[in-house]
Structure 1
Amino acid sequence: MRAKDVMSRPVHTVEPGAPVEDAAAAMAARAVTALPVVDGAGSLVGIVSEGDLLWQRVPVDPTAQLNRSPAAPAIRPGRVADVMSRSPVTTRPDVDLAEVAETMLMYDVRSMPVLDGDTLVGIVSRRDILRAMVRTDETLVREVQHRLDEYAPGRWTASVHKGVATVVGAFADSTEREIAAVLARTVPGVADVRIEPPR
């Protein structure tokens, strides 16, 4: 399974000059934890997360003022550009989902913009990955079988056990075996694929 199989699209974005209140409202309205920041040309220049906004916007307890860090700013930033992360961790559409998850954990990020070249084509969140992982075998086998039947009606039969898909049938050559494997693997939630001859 690849990033493109679970990523959210179209991507909700925000511009660097937008007020932070607008970014917060957009996140709340769309139930997302981060927004890619794009410039006027549509190029990715950063990402702003809930954490970035909360860091500067939550009212300070007056009784804690004496203990406030000297590095903490006295004036709250007003624009997205003031709080966004300028070097977002990104991925590509064809990257394996396990690698995406590993990168998220390594860099402690909850969302990763997906770039095709320089073009922003989606965003993957931890929630997207978890949603793909918890799909039932019954749901997976229906989707795998549907994709197989669209390509070769009635020739191959799918089964799924604990996220592992098995495709059984007659294959003309190694190319057909690879096609069947790819079709099954692109179903979100399929962890692995096995190709077997007729039983």
Structure 2
Amino acid sequence: MLKVQEILRVKGDALYTASPDMPIRQAVDTMATHDIGSLVIMEFGQLAGMVTFREIIRHMQRCECMIGPDNTIRSIMDDAPVSVSPNTDIDEVRRLMLQRHARYLPVMDGPTLLGVISFYDVARAVVDAQEFENNMLKAYIRDWPTDTAAQG
């Protein structure tokens, strides 16, 4: 069965974090520059939360304003994000994402942040696994042994 660690291996090791005291404007700039939808919030080497474009958009709608220089991530971040371990099964990840409406999950090995997986990463991994399985089945069927001696 497919595990989170396999998704991280394919995805690569680029990881973007921020502190809770980072201005929201700087977080938006980081996310836009790197074309990412979330930042893991770390404080004192520990997972403190997550911020995604969802929290930023909610903040903008609530304030009916643009993002000011005094607003920090701490004021909008999800301070209790669901996380998974590298050994979490992909079916459990999909269930968690759907149940919690989470598009991004931090991957933690104890207190150590290993990466973030997105809904897109999970969908791509599932499609790739299904394509591999289909190709293997087609190859097996094509190479099906024929026993002409038994028929004769």
Coarse TM-score class (shorter-chain normalised): 0.7 to 0.9
Query: In structure 2, what is the equivalent of residue 6 of structure 1?
Result: 7
Correspondent of 1:51 among 54, 59, 73 = 54
TM-score by length of 2: 0.76
- 1:32 maps onto 2:66 in alignment: no
Alignment of 1:1-199 (within 5 A): 1-7=2-8, 8=11, 9-39=13-43, 41-58=44-61, 60=64, 78-135=71-128, 137=131, 140=132, 160-161=133-134
Q: Distance in 2 between matches of 1:90 and 1:38?
A: 13
Q: Which consecutive segments of 4 or more residues in structure 1 shift more than 6 A?
A: none
Q: Distance in 1 between matches of 2:72 and 2:105?
A: 21
Aligned residues between the structures:
134
Q: Deviations over 1:33-68 (max 9, x none)?
A: 1111001x321000001011111225739xxxxxxx
- Deviation for aligned residue 1:5: 1.2
In the superposition, relative to structure 1, how do residues 104 and 76 fare at CA in structure 2: closer, same or farther (>3 Å)?
Answer: farther
Q: Structure 1: 5+ residue runs without aligned partners?
A: 62-74, 141-159, 169-198
TM-score by length of 1: 0.59
Percent identity between matched residues is: 25
Q: Given residue 161 of structure 1, which amino acid in structure 2 is its aligned partner? A: N
Question: Conserved in 2, the CA contact under 8 Å of 1:112 and 1:125?
Answer: yes
Q: Distance in 2 between matches of 1:97 and 1:26?
A: 29
- Deviation for aligned residue 1:77: 6.6
Secondary structure of 1:161's aligned partner? helix
Question: Conserved in 2, the CA contact under 8 Å of 1:14 and 1:23?
Answer: yes
Q: Distance in 2 between matches of 1:165 and 1:44?
A: 42
Question: Conserved in 2, the CA contact under 8 Å of 1:10 and 1:121?
Answer: no
Q: Given residue 56 of structure 2, which amino acid in structure 1 is its aligned partner? A: L
Question: Conserved in 1, the CA contact under 8 Å of 2:25 and 2:69?
Answer: no
Q: Distance in 2 between matches of 1:43 and 1:32?
A: 21
In the superposition, relative to structure 1, how do residues 2 and 80 fare at CA in structure 2: closer, same or farther (>3 Å)?
Answer: same
Higher helix share: 2
